[in-house]
Amino acid sequence: MADSNTIRLRVFSLNCWGIRYLSKHCRERYAMIGELLSREEHDIVLLQEVWSEKDFLCLKRKLSSTHPHSHYFKSGVIGSGMATFSRHRIHDAFLYRYSLNGYPYMAHHGDWFGGKAVGMVILNIGRLAAHVYVTHLHAEYCREKDSYLPHRVVQAWELQQFIRHTSSGADLVILAGDLNLHPQDLGNRLLRTYTGLRDSYTETAKFDGCEDGITLIADNPFINPKELCPFEKGIRIDYILYKGSGRVSIQCESLSTTKGSVPDHPFPYSDHEALSADLQLGEQDCALAELVDIVTEARTEVKVGLYCAERMRYTAARTGVMGMALLLLELAIAAVPWLALRADQPFPRASFYLLGVLCFAILITTFLLYIFYTMEVKALQGAEDQMRLAVGSLQERLRGFPLAQPLNRLCRPLDGQDPCPLEPEE
């Protein structure tokens, strides 16, 4: 705390790449991360890809003196991988799991099994209510042919909805995590513009880190440079975003990232770089953003994904019908010897059973695919409907019609409340 009117807050974020028995030097890197966090004493720590609860409990024991409050978000088959540590007491926690998160048959990517979600904790910092969010969106495996783009846009849409609908009573909002979105990607613009969240990298007065703020660098020994093409130096996909309220504003005084190697250690903390932001809380200064074009673009992208999902569902249904027709034809052929008056030829049992198993396999596979694509279609339709309503309300607001419930509260102190609530509690 600097004085009676300002509070300084240190926020840390890192994708730990903590897959037990698969990630390289996992145990040693967790020990390094624990030492770093104990030494730096950040106010809020937001971690991703802590896939093992045992690793979380190990960090919890190590940070018990510096960060006595913590929460581990559980989701999906192997968990959400998200954890929060705080110097301030956690009063509430909640998890929202995204409706779309890849495909179960793309097992080598693994996102579907991870239960990608957004986790929220509510903290009291002095007399301020802080809503802190941590998330990890679906990975981008091929930028040129990104089949997961509609899923990531829907995740960004649900993320901004979740933040807006749960942060109405917050004095300050912080979101950190691996968004798997480049700064100018559609999902990133949708998230920041709709929520009013500000990027600490573009807003900071002082930056110390990798060139252009990249957080997935080619020089990292855990990274295959070919996976970063066409970005030779690396990409920026990890963020610390923030915003104030009608009572409180936030300024980013400084932002730093790790730079691959760690002094006195043979390898870095993770395949991602860690972010550390120093935030200063002061008087409010807010602005209203234009949203119609970005939401319309997001809606168009979701419509493209919906069209593809409907075609895949149709293909699965047509293949299932063909499998059923083939099965019926096989049964009809098998019935001919039984109906004939003279059946001198032996019945080919082996071929009959083999073809029957093939038909059943086709039917079961297409049935499961049809169910999955139906779920995907419904989720995309739901997001598209919500975006359509949002575009309509935004257009009405632009034309001058008042909304029943504005997206952002008016930028003025509430009646009966002090205009400057930043003084620490006695």
Whether residue 107 is predicted with pLDDT greater than 90 in this model: the reply is: no
Q: What is the pLDDT of residue 191?
A: 96
Length of the chain equals 426
Q: What is the pLDDT of residue 310?
A: 92
Q: 14-45: per-residue pLDDT in tens?
A: 999 998 888 999 999 999 999 999 999 899 99
Whether residue 346 is predicted with pLDDT greater than 70 in this model: the reply is: no
Measure the CA–CA gap between 37 and 39, rounded to whole angstroms: 5
41-55, 103-117, 304-318, 383-397: range with lowest mean pLDDT:
103-117
Provide the token pair at 408. 């952002």
Q: What is the pLDDT of residue 406?
A: 42
Q: What is the pLDDT of residue 153?
A: 93
Nearest to 218 by CA among 235, 240, 205, 202: 235
Measure the CA–CA gap between 167 and 165, rounded to whole angstroms: 6
Provide the token pair at 206. 């002082």
Q: What is the pLDDT of residue 343?
A: 54
Q: What is the pLDDT of residue 410?
A: 39
Residues 6+ apart with CB under 8 A from 311: none
- Asked if the bond preceding 230 is cis, omega within 30° of 0, the reply is yes
Q: What is the pLDDT of residue 393?
A: 79
Burial label for 325, CB within 10 Å (0-12, 13-18, 19+), is: exposed
Q: What is the pLDDT of residue 396?
A: 74
**pLDDT class for 426, splitting at 50, 70, 90?**
very low
* Cβ atoms 156, 188 nearer than 8 A: yes
Q: What is the pLDDT of residue 398?
A: 67
In the Cβ-directed half-sphere of 394, how many Cα atoms lie within 13 Å? 19
Q: What amino acid positions are annotated as catalytic residues?
A: 272
Three-class SS string for the chain? CCECCEEEEEEEEEEEEECCCCCCCHHHHHHHHHHHHHHHCCCEEEEEEECCHHHHHHHHHHCCCCCCEEEEECCCCCCCCEEEEECCCEEEEEEEECCCCCCCCCCCCCHHHHCCEEEEEEEEECCEEEEEEEEECCCCCCCCCCCCHHHHHHHHHHHHHHHHHHCCCCCEEEEEEECCCCCCCHHHHHHHHHHCCEEHHHHCCCEECCHHHCCEECCCCCCCHHHHCCCCCEECCEEEEEECCCCCEEEEEEEEECCCCCCCCCCCCCCCCCEEEEEEEECCCCCCCCCHHHHHHHHHHHHHHHHHHHHHHHHHHHHHHHHHHHHHHHHHHHHHHHHCCCCCCCCCHHHHHHHHHHHHHHHHHHHHHHHHHHHHHHHHHHHHHHHHHHHHHHHHHHCCCCCCCCCCCCCCCCCCCCCCCCCCCC
